[in-house]
């Protein structure tokens, strides 16, 4: 985990400066997204497992998906809905990672402001 934390610290310190170079911005964001996703999963899963409202909504989503699977659609209709579901999942993934990244960067900034970092 130390390697990932060091990588995130480096990225947090250098992201804005490096992002001005078009050739590296995509690589930086992709690498940072992967790092953030690997870190957030453990903490997030613990929070979600204990969140009763989330669990209720997850069950409702499963029930809605089961109803969707049992409903007869034309091939074109099913394709449109499948694309919508996939794109919604992709957008939500990117948004969640960016929200987590923003929270990590904000937390790091606060720690730095109070002199609590190891720098």
Tokens read off for 72 = 């007869």
pLDDT of residue 44: 80
First CA to last CA across the chain, in angstroms? 18
Q: Determine the Cα–Cα distance for residues 15 and 109; give it in Å rounded to an integer.
A: 13
Predicted confidence (pLDDT) at residue 95 exceeds the cutoff of 60: yes
pLDDT band at 101 (very low <50, low <70, confident <90, very high): confident
Q: What ranges do the domains of the chain cover?
A: 2-113
Judged by average pLDDT, the poorest of 36-40, 90-94, 99-103, 104-108 is: 36-40
Per-residue pLDDT of 69-89, as tens digits, reads 999 999 999 999 999 999 999
Q: Quickly state the pLDDT bin for 3 (edges 50, 70, 90).
A: low
Which bin fits 115, alpha (ψ -120 to 50), beta or left (φ > 0)? left
More confident site: 66 or 6: 66
């Amino acid at each position: 985990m130390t390697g990932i934390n060091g990588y995130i610290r480096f990225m947090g310190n250098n992201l804005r400066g490096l992002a001005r170079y078009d050739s590296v911005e995509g690589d930086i964001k992709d690498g940072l997204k992967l790092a953030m996703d690997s870190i957030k999963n453990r903490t997030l899963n613990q929070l979600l497992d204990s969140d009763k409202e989330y669990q209720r909504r997850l069950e409702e989503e499963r029930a809605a998906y089961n109803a969707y699977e049992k409903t007869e659609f034309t091939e074109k209709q099913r394709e449109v809905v499948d694309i919508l579901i996939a794109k919604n999942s992709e957008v939500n993934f990117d948004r969640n990672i960016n929200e987590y990244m923003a929270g990590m960067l904000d937390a790091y900034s606060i720690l730095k402001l109070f002199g609590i970092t190891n720098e």
